[in-house]
Structure 1
Amino acid sequence: MPDIAVLKVERVADERGEPVRVAHIGRPEEWAACPECGVISTTVRQRRTTRPRDLPYGEERLLVCWHKRQFACQEDQCRRKAFTESVTETPPRARVTGRLCRAAARRVASGASVTQSCREYRLAWPLVHRHFVALADELPAEPEPVEVLGIDETRRGRARWRKMPDGSWEKLERFETNFVDLSSEQGLLGQAAGRTGAAVIDWLAARGLAWKAAVRVVAIDPAACYRTAIRRALPHAIIVVDHFHLIALANKALTAIRQRVTREQRGRRGRAADPEWANRHRLPRARENLSERAFIGMWNALIDHEPTGQILTAWIAKEELRALLACARQQAPRSVISHRLFHFFPWCATSDLPELVTLAETIDAWWLETLAFITTRVTNARTEGTNRLFKDAARVAFGFRNLTNQRRRVRLACTQKMINAAA
């Protein structure tokens, strides 16, 4: 600690017979300034010993004994006749050092709960939480302009209802719209209550015209409300739909077809003896992630035991969509993109499967955004990673009751600069 000198260190045994190191500290100067009038004093009236709690160091428990001096003020007109020396890290009447409280707050910022940090540093819960709030409030209130913006929603626990005075029940909003920086290291930029287009428009409007003008690309999930809001608030920005959710829609259609075929042919749910049920985990997997043996076994089993061919038709449609979206990774020219798109749409249209027709209609409705993803290769992966951090913070805290504390906690956990500082 600044302005503190170690006088001596001795090794003693505590009441349980375990070794304890005792560090005796004190200020090296023989004078001190009165905190009331600022006059220097060298007259010591009495000496006191305090034992402030400090950071642990080493394997053995460390105790600190601070030998303080009480000085007499030399100014006759000063209202304060005596004062005890102190330093910034340990102000008057403080029983813990400031760096111990900051370490406990950084421990919470690194992912631990407040209760866990209290147990590690042997501090009270209100003290740790107060310093954690001070650390979280150091984040800038307004984010810096970004070029690539990610927007997604997350849920704040289970749905809750509130009884109104007239006896009716109102459902409380449990969703948050998150805004994430995808072009730099700012992390989570902010949150808005609800998952509506109005929440997006209001949050962007609060940032100002200059901030909105800097946004070049916006990555979202296939959510029509977000797309409409972005077109209104950021008409110059390119909207990109994340390819992960498009492939998830294809896998969802494939699973729905498999379940429907099983119910129609067998009149029940799938069982382990059914080939389509035995291959339920292989069907959603990518073709390149399947070995030749696994692929041939799945293909032959479905051909032999599923005469309609609907499951394999859906699997081929899923792979055609993956091949189309793979143009982004391969940096394929527009001719290749059009060729693969021509393979995907007719295959779904001629299959006469309502699930594949719905999938093709969804891709067609989002084709401009899908093409923007293929050309820009911007994904919403970092936003999805931020959502995972939301869930981790809620699990560590065993849920949140206070919305302000939750937003403070998740923003601190999802801001890369603060994570690096805490580490």
Structure 2
Amino acid sequence: MPEITVVKVERVADDDGQPGRLVHIERPEDWAACPDCGVVSSKVRQRRTTRPRDLPYGPEPIGVRRHKRQFACTEQLCARKAFTESVAEIPPGARVTGRLCRAAARQVAGGRSVAAVGREYRLGRPLVHRHFAACADAVLLEPEPPEVLGIDETRRGRPAWIKNETSGKWARTERFETNFVDLSGAGALLGQAAGRTGKAVIDWLNDRGPQWKSQVRIVAIDPAACYRSAIKQALPHAVLVVDHFHLVALANKALTAVRQRVTREERGRRGRATDPEWANRRRLLRGRERLSERGFTRMWNDLIDHEPTGQILTAWIAKEELRSLLACARERASRSVISHRLFRFMSWCADSGMPELITLAETIDAWWPETLAFIATGITNARTEGTNRLIKDAARVAFGFRNLTNQRRRVRLACTHQTINPAA
């Protein structure tokens, strides 16, 4: 505090006998200007001592005694007869210093809960939250339009049922949030919309304005039909890209469904540890290049010897054919190679005659323009998924949110990648 001078420091002990320090501070100038008329006065009417709370320093507790003076205004025409000197860090009537409030706000912005920071600094929760909100609102301005936009949803909490007092009917509250992430810049969270519907996406984008929307070139989403229709309506000029991770997850889901169905049909029960298909269930979901030669040989031979229908290996090959098709994005493959691998995957699923693989092929066919856009651009929704993890971490730290405004402020600040340094 540059406007304050330390007069003296005393060694004291609290009621429990623990050692501490008592710091006496005051303004070095023996004059002050009247806040109304601006006339400088050095006539002291009385002296007062306050006990503002300040930042802790060192292992011992510190108490602060601020000695301030009340001056008499010497201007005869001034309506104010007396005024008390003040400094910026300790405004009139304040019981805590400004730097203590800012430090508490930075700690909350760094990821700690409001309650934990309040206990450490011996501050009330409303005070800590008020200063954190002011600190966050000064940083979280209107987002700039990104070239690549990522969209995904997260669950806000457990669904709740609210009874309408007028009609007496129960309504289920919305517990999902749609997240909008900048994939072309630092990956910051641009904002959130209530719900995971196409209307929520359209309304949020329309609120940004036509100039904001015109700068978005590419949009990455998960295979969700509501998001696809919303983007085509709100951003008809943007290229839509589907995330390849979820396509592989659909293939793994189809493979698991085939394994479970074959086990029930052949053995009349669920899988056991002695069943080869159950023992190799994790190897089946692993990529071929991530399997050792020994692990691949064991999986292949076990299924050949003990699974006579061959459906599980057929489903595994279909999954690998899809992964080979999606790998064209990494390999920068030509269009002829992409067409060849697509035909090989589709024909393999069609020739198998298994409903799980046919459904998988139909899904890829329905999302083929967006899949082809991924192969051409290589853009994924990975940063959006990472943002979802940060959103969930912020909710866990706060033990859940009841106020939607507080949640969105806290979540967006947590996803701004150290915009506020808690150690500053």
Query: What TM-score comes out, normalization by structure 2 length?
Result: 0.95
For residues 342-399 of structure 1, give each alpha carbon's deviation from its aligned partner in whole angstroms, at most 9, with x where no partner exists. 2211111111111111111111111111111111111111111111112111111222
More deviation in 137-146 or 96-105? 137-146
Does structure 1 residue 282 correspond to structure 2 residue 317? Answer: no
After superposition, the C-alpha distances for 1:205-260 in whole angstroms (9 at most, x for unaligned) are: 11111111100100000011111111111111100001111111111111111111
The 2-side partners of 1:399 and 1:286 are apart by 37
Indicate if the aligned counterparts of 1:197 and 1:228 stay in contact, CA closer than 8 A. yes
Q: Which amino acid aligns with 1:240?
A: V
- Contact conserved, 2:106 with 2:421, CA < 8 A, in 1? no
Per the alignment, residue 197 of structure 1 pairs with: 198
1:306 paired residue number: 307
Q: Could you report, residue by residue, the CA deviation over 1:169-212 in whole angstroms, capped at 9, with x for unpaired residues?
A: 22222221111111113611111122111111111111111111
Task: Please tell me whether the aligned partners of residues 6 and 25 of structure 1 are also in contact (alpha carbons under 8 angstroms).
Answer: yes
1:14-413 paired onto structure 2 within 5 Å: 14-164=14-164, 165-185=166-186, 187-413=188-414
Give the match's secondary structure for 1:318: helix
Instruction: State the TM-score, normalized to the length of structure 1.
Output: 0.95
Q: Per-residue deviation at 1:126? A: 0.8
Contact 2:152-2:221 within 8 A present in 1 as well: yes
Q: Is the 8 A contact 2:12 2:22 kept in 1?
A: yes
Q: Structure 2: which amino acid aligns with 1:212?
A: K
Taking only aligned residues, the RMSD between alpha carbons, in angstroms, comes to 1.8
For 1:419 and 1:257, the matched residues in 2 are separated by 50
Structure 2 letter corresponding to 1:397: A
Helix, strand or coil for the counterpart of 2:15?
coil
Output the CA distance in 2 between the equivalents of 1:67 and 1:226: 63
2:187–2:383 CA contact under 8 A, matched in 1: no
Q: Secondary structure at the match of 2:352?
A: coil
1:265-299 Cα deviation digits (max 9, x unpaired): 12222122222122222221222222222222222
**The residue matched to 2:47 in structure 1 has which SS?**
strand
| 8 Å CA contact 1:73, 1:80 repeated in 2 | yes
What is the letter of the counterpart of residue 102 of structure 1? R
In the TM superposition, what whole-angstrom CA distance separates every residue of 1:144-184 from its partner, at most 9, and x where no partner exists? 11101111111121222222332322222222111111111
Whole-angstrom distance in 1 between the partners of 2:259 and 2:158? 31
TM-superposed CA distance for 1:415, in Å, is: 1.9
* More displaced stretch, 333-342 vs 5-14: 5-14
Secondary structure at the counterpart of residue 252 of structure 1: helix
Contact kept, 8 Å, 2:107 with 2:422, in 1: the verdict is: no
* Per-residue deviation, 1:140: 4.4
Task: Confirm or deny: 8 A CA contact 2:153 2:179 kept in the other structure.
Answer: yes
Aligned to 1:6: 6
- Range with greater deviation from structure 2 (103-112 or 78-87): 78-87
Letter in 2 for 1:189: L
Greater CA deviation, 34-43 or 89-98?
34-43
Q: Secondary structure at 1:138's aligned position in 2?
A: helix
C-alpha contact (below 8 Å) 1:217/1:238 kept by paired residues: yes
Question: Is 2:179–2:192's contact at 8 Å kept on the other side of the alignment?
Answer: yes
Change in Cα spacing, 1:45 to 1:419, as seen in structure 2 (3 Å) is closer
Cα distance change on mapping 1:275 and 1:420 into 2, 3 Å: farther
Give the AA of the match of 1:241. V
Is contact 1:328–1:375 with CA below 8 Å preserved after alignment? yes
Which has the larger displacement, 127-136 or 64-73?
Answer: 64-73
- Cα separation, 2, equivalents of 1:344 and 1:75: 92
The count of residues paired between Structure 1 and Structure 2 equals: 423
1:80-122 Cα distance to aligned partner (Å, 9 max, x none): 3222221111101111111111111121121111111111211
Alpha-carbon distance in 2 for matches of 1:51, 1:162: 47
Output the amino acid matched with 2:31: W
SS of 1:22's partner is strand
Answer yes or no: is the 8 Å Cα contact 2:109–2:422 preserved in 1.
no
Unpaired runs of at least 5, structure 2:
none
> Is 2:4–2:27's contact at 8 Å kept on the other side of the alignment?
yes
Kept in 1, the 8 Å contact 2:189–2:415? The answer is yes
SS of 1:282's equivalent in the other structure is helix
Instruction: Give the match's secondary structure for 1:173.
Output: coil
Per-residue CA deviations over 1:5-27 (Å, capped at 9, x if unaligned) read 22333444333333323332221
Letter in structure 2 aligned against 1:143: P
Structure 1 stretches lacking a partner, 5+ long = none
Asked if the contact 1:109/1:422 (under 8 Å) is kept, the reply is no
Identity over aligned pairs, percent: 76
Output the CA distance in 1 between the equivalents of 2:366 and 2:187. 32
Structure-2 separation of matches of 1:381 and 1:221: 10
Matches of 1:272 and 1:78, distance apart in 2: 92
Aligned mates of 1:303, 1:420 — CA distance in 2? 58
